Amino acid sequence: MSSRIVVLDTETTGLEVSQGHRLVEVGCVELLDRRPSGRRFHSYLDPERAVDPGALAVHGLSDAFLATQPRFAAVAADLREFLADAELVIHNAAFDLGFLDAEFARIDSDHVPLVRRHAVTDTLLIARERFPGQRNSLDALCRRFEIDNSGRTLHGALLDAELLADVYLALTAGQSTLSFGMESGDSASGIPGSVPISGSKVPLSLFTSRPRVIKASVEEQAAHALRLDAIDRASGRPCIWRQMEERPE
């Protein structure tokens, strides 16, 4: 079965979901086995409230434009279907998930938080671990990995999801399958000491250096435990990971 990832981004009326701010845009791109499949989900949304001036300066989506767009309830089923069974990759995941969960909860009182339904990878946490003390915004990471973001004059959920997909692949490039048997000075990419990964030319030295250990956060460990609970229930017995954890040293 193909490994399916959905890279996701949102735009909102303001910063605080607790203050009643709403989604105004959702953008998603699909990766299958770490390659873009070409499938996307994108929708502007009528938030049924005014956009804060600060948010308007970020994404440029006016109240007049958004009033002509569908409400979240009209696209929720299609969004759920697109997200189904996928790992979610999000930059600063707590922000986007908070807004998405609030929208789903408005139309479904039995909504289960997305972090309990999906594996979630937060690229901001990965970037902070890998580049401590440096700027790790999406723009900063695009510059660091030489990803062209020249079209990003304003934030846009679909454009940002597409850029984040490239950033995610670069951040996690060491997890890709390499073409072994290739001499370090004779790679198929045409660059000595490099290998092609997801269409990019990545120096082979990246994979010969000592691997960096990224420890799971408390939230990630909790989400992992919930996912194992779901596997246990589906299989009717402890899954292989739990069995290995229980083995004596």
Catalytic residue IDs:
155
Specify the DSSP class assigned to residue 211.
P
DSSP readout, 15-66? S-GGGT--EEEEEEEEEETTEEEEEEEEEE---SSPPPHHHHHHH---HHHH
C-beta neighbour count of 227 within 10 angstroms: 17
Say how far apart CA 167 and CA 92 lie, in whole Å. 13
For residue 4 the two structure tokens come to 């399916």
d(CA 96, CA 100): 6
Q: Report CA-CA distances (Å) from 4 to 67, 68, 71, 119.
A: 34, 33, 27, 11
**In sequence order, what DSSP letters do the residues of 149-198 get, joined into one string?**
-TT-SS--HHHHHHHHHHHHHHHTGGGSPP-TT--TTS-TTSSTTEEEET
Distance, in Å, from the CA atom of 5 to the CA atom of 28, rounded to the nearest integer, reads 10
Residues 239 and 228 sit within 8 Å (Cβ to Cβ): yes
Would you give the end-to-end CA distance of the chain in angstroms?
33
